[in-house]
Structure 1
Amino acid sequence: MTDGRTGTADRIAEVALRLFTPHGYAGVSMEQVRRQAGVSNGSLYHHFRSRAELVAHLFLGGITEAQELTLRTLSQAPDAEAGVRGVVAAQLNWVEQHPELARLVYSDPHDEVLLAAEPAFGAHNRRYVEIVSGWLDTHMRRDTLTRRPFAVAHALWAGPTQEFCRHWLHGRSPLAPHEAAGDLGEGAWAALTAPGTKRGME
């Protein structure tokens, strides 16, 4: 059962997300959030001391959820191909199911928001990079994936999917994310694999 304190914070966060999605960080005040959430000033500032802290809470929650989905997908993948394709499909599905939160995650956060998200944001990112780079390195050492620096491999893997999602989130794609999963997964696998790699074989 959710306690009153957690329930109030969740309600404030849900209202804030609905407001920030169409209006952006600069376009929403804490007073607007307070009125829409139906809470007192004391309750609002008890949970979130500033607008930056409130958006940081949403941003950190969204990016952590997306990163944990990737890590879970990799932990369950039987081979490199399943991992590469599975992460692409999982991220596309997540964006389609959580468009408001995805818009925030895929935005360029204000410096105040990034500052408010630390040190948790840095800790989550370091853990994500450590696990994903370790997974990539394992398959690179097996010569299943082409040996590349982590930043390059990750960009080849996730970059096209992220770009597609940005277009879809802004209404510029006639395809829903799940409809693009096959082609984007194929592109990611082709970009990461070593020449001569056999599908499903390691």
Structure 2
Amino acid sequence: MSPKQQRGAATAAQVLDRALEIYAAQGESGLTLGAITAASGVSAGSIYHHFGSLPGVLTALAQRWLARLLEELTAALEQVDDARSGVQAVVRVYLRFVQDHPDASRLMHSAPVDREVMARAPQLRGSQEARLAPLAAWLHTRQEAGELAALPLPVLESLILGPVTGIARRWLSLGDIDLDEAVRETPERIWRSVSP
């Protein structure tokens, strides 16, 4: 990476770090271009150069944290020897990630991010598929070995991650779920939905 690219990456990281702090303290309504420029010291022009728009900042921030989550899920899968342990590990790691990073998780699971990701799906598809590739490969390998139900891979992925995402969203928005209990009880129930 050239020095210019390094400076650009550092500037983008600074903007994203400050944006998450603002989001955590003030919510979506506080995440304005003015607030980000004031907190980061980065000019509005530079923010537009790196992210294209304020929704672009939001999407980049969500994508950054999604990448971290997927790295943790992939690392968990590398530590297991069978499909059951893998599915259970994914459920536990995801829920613990949400518990450990509530502000970033709230942003990742927010309606504005959902809207922006849906609107930019064609542009984001390549990076999303690349990030999900290790999970998809693991599912495919375990399915080929007969350890997972004979369902299309997107359905398997949805059966594993859909309920976890629902639990996370509910805990983040309403707080009426005991996340420790969900970590204990949910992995086996989700495993049953995808076992052969």
Q: Give the TM-score of the pair, scaled to structure 2.
A: 0.80
Which amino acid in structure 2 is aligned with residue 70 of structure 1?
L
| C-alpha distance after superposition, 1:139-170 (max 9, x if no partner) | 22332221111122112111111111111111
Answer 1 or 2: higher relative contact order, Cα 8 Å, separation at least 6: 1
2:70 to 64, 67, 70: 67
- 1:145-160 alignment to 2 at 5 Å? 145-160=148-163
Q: Quick check: which has more Rg, 1 or 2?
A: 1
Which amino acid in structure 2 is aligned with residue 156 of structure 1?
L
Between stretches 160-169 and 73-82, larger displacement belongs to: 73-82
User: Greater share of helix residues, 1 or 2?
Assistant: 2
Which amino acid in structure 2 is aligned with residue 162 of structure 1?
T
User: 1:186 and 2:188 equivalent?
Assistant: yes
Q: Which residue of 2 aligns with 1:76?
A: 79
| C-alpha distance after superposition, 1:169-198 (max 9, x if no partner) | 1133251x344212111111111112xxxx
Q: How many pairs are equivalent?
A: 189
Identity %: 27
Residue ranges of structure 2 left out of the alignment (5+ in a row): 1-5
Matched residue of 2:78: which SS? Answer: helix
How far apart are the structure 1 equivalents of 2:116 and 2:36? 18
How far apart are the structure 1 equivalents of 2:142 and 2:45? 53
Question: Cα–Cα, structure 1 residues 184 and 75, in superposed 2: closer, same or farther, change >3 Å?
Answer: same
How far apart are the structure 1 equivalents of 2:44 and 2:115? 25
Shift, 1:65, TM fit: 1.4
Q: Give the TM-score of the pair, scaled to structure 1.
A: 0.77
Which amino acid in structure 1 is aligned with residue 182 of structure 2?
A
Preserved contact between residue 156 and residue 194 of structure 2 (Cα < 8 Å):
yes
Q: Which residue of 1 aligns with 2:176?
A: 173
Which amino acid in structure 2 is aligned with residue 77 of structure 1?
V
How far apart are the structure 1 equivalents of 2:69 and 2:193? 22
| C-alpha distance after superposition, 1:7-59 (max 9, x if no partner) | 544332222123335432x6532012212334444554554442122212201
Question: Cα–Cα, structure 1 residues 29 and 130, in superposed 2: closer, same or farther, change >3 Å?
Answer: closer
Question: Cα–Cα, structure 1 residues 55 and 118, in superposed 2: closer, same or farther, change >3 Å?
Answer: farther
Residue ranges of structure 1 left out of the alignment (5+ in a row): 195-202
